[in-house]
Amino acid sequence: MNYIKLGNTGLEVSPLALGCMTYGAPDRGAQSWTLDEETSRPLIRLAVESGINFFDTANVYSDGHSEEILGRALRDFAQRDEVVIATKVYFNSRHAPNARGLSRKAIFNEIDNSLKRLGTDYIDLYQIHRWDYNTPIEETLEALHDLVKAGKVLHLGASSMYAWQFSKAIYTSQRHGWTPFVSMQNQLNLISREEEREMIPFCRDAGIAVIPWSPLARGRLTRDWDQSSERARADDVGKTYYTQRTAESDREVVGTVAAIAAERGVTRAQVALAWVRQSAGITAPLIGVSKPHHLTDAIAALRLQLTPEERQRLEAPYVPHAIAGFN
């Protein structure tokens, strides 16, 4: 595994990050497609043994159980100083006052909850999960800066927002001398490329790491168009990301992925992930692993070099999509 720097930081990360939304507690209110701890642990161990040192979760995933599972697994399978743990704050399953969002009170409460669940003294990359329209950005940024100064957080990141919002946050941090954001976690795949318009060019110019989520479009790029999966059937949020309006162009993209995979003698997942990994400005796509071969495919995608002609074929059918994943 060849490690790379996370944006302009000195932090070394693997070129793939293990997304841990899949790991939770389905018997304790999580989604039906999540894996329990007994099933999750071997997959996390396999990732560690394969050289992945970058792990991403969130306080809201399975109501915190994802953080608990990841924390216990990494304590057993890895050295803390060798792994990079990323988690997020904003959402909360409780809708009580001050329980969610990015107020100073919510952030201070949630960092301690995440640290406890992960069983660690610090978070390597603490990310705001969305933009909070109800809290002044200055309040959020100063609170995050204070967490860094307190030693609870090493670096700050953000996820899924408009480029103008992200640039405003970065400018505000610079103006006040607060700790800046070093990464952006946003959606990028062959049937959702809207981030190529503004966010990714902005991040490239600013030296900010890009950590795409859903690089396989919730699995749509890995199977025939008319096929489905347990997660696709049960994931109500995911159903809103890819609309009927773009179905024909999306279908053509999926078909092209299948054709190139057959020509190269590789899996569709390898082709789709290789396209993301080789796109300009990308640092480390987030991969979801619910079966060992998902990890095998992801690592193989690092070695698959698409030709310019293959990239052109994959990109040609795309049509503009509505923004999905944030508002």
The pLDDT tens digits of the residues spanning 242-253 come to 666 678 999 999
Q: Is 320 contained in some domain?
A: no
What does the pLDDT look like over 85-100, one tens digit per residue?
Answer: 999 999 988 888 888 9
Q: Is 184 contained in some domain?
A: yes
Query: Side by side, which strands form the sheet with 286-288?
Result: 209-210, 181-185, 153-159, 123-128, 84-89, 54-56, 17-19, 286-288
Q: Is 322 contained in some domain?
A: no
User: What pLDDT was estimated at residue 234?
Assistant: 57
Is residue 232 scored above 60 in pLDDT? no
What integer is the mean pLDDT of 101-106? Answer: 98
Alpha helices, DSSP H, located in the chain:
37-49, 65-77, 104-118, 137-149, 163-176, 199-206, 230-234, 236-239, 247-264, 268-277, 292-303, 308-315
User: What pLDDT was estimated at residue 32?
Assistant: 81
Say if residues 54 and 84 touch (Cβ distance below 8 Å): yes
User: What pLDDT was estimated at residue 244?
Assistant: 61
User: What pLDDT was estimated at residue 237?
Assistant: 65
**CATH code, domain carrying 143:** 3.20.20.100
Q: Is 327 contained in some domain?
A: no
How many domains does the structure of the chain reveal?
1
Which residues have a catalytic role annotated? 61
Q: Is 48 contained in some domain?
A: yes
Q: Is 325 contained in some domain?
A: no
Cα–Cα distance measured from residue 9 to residue 78, given in angstroms and rounded to the nearest whole number:
22
Report the half-sphere exposure of 297 (CA within 13 A, side-chain side): 22
What integer is the mean pLDDT of 311-327? Answer: 94
Q: Is 323 contained in some domain?
A: no
What integer is the mean pLDDT of 170-198? Answer: 98
Q: Is 144 contained in some domain?
A: yes
Is residue 236 scored above 80 in pLDDT? no
User: What pLDDT was estimated at residue 230?
Assistant: 62
Cα–Cα distance measured from residue 268 to residue 280, given in angstroms and rounded to the nearest whole number:
21
Give the residue among 193, 199, 244 at the shortest CA–CA distance from 214. 193
Say if residues 56 and 28 touch (Cβ distance below 8 Å): no
Is residue 109 scored above 70 in pLDDT? yes
Domain membership of residue 98 as a residue range:
4-315
What does the pLDDT look like over 152-162, one tens digit per residue?
Answer: 999 999 999 99
pLDDT higher for 267 or 237? 267
Burial class (CB in 10 A: 0-12, 13-18, 19+), 32: exposed
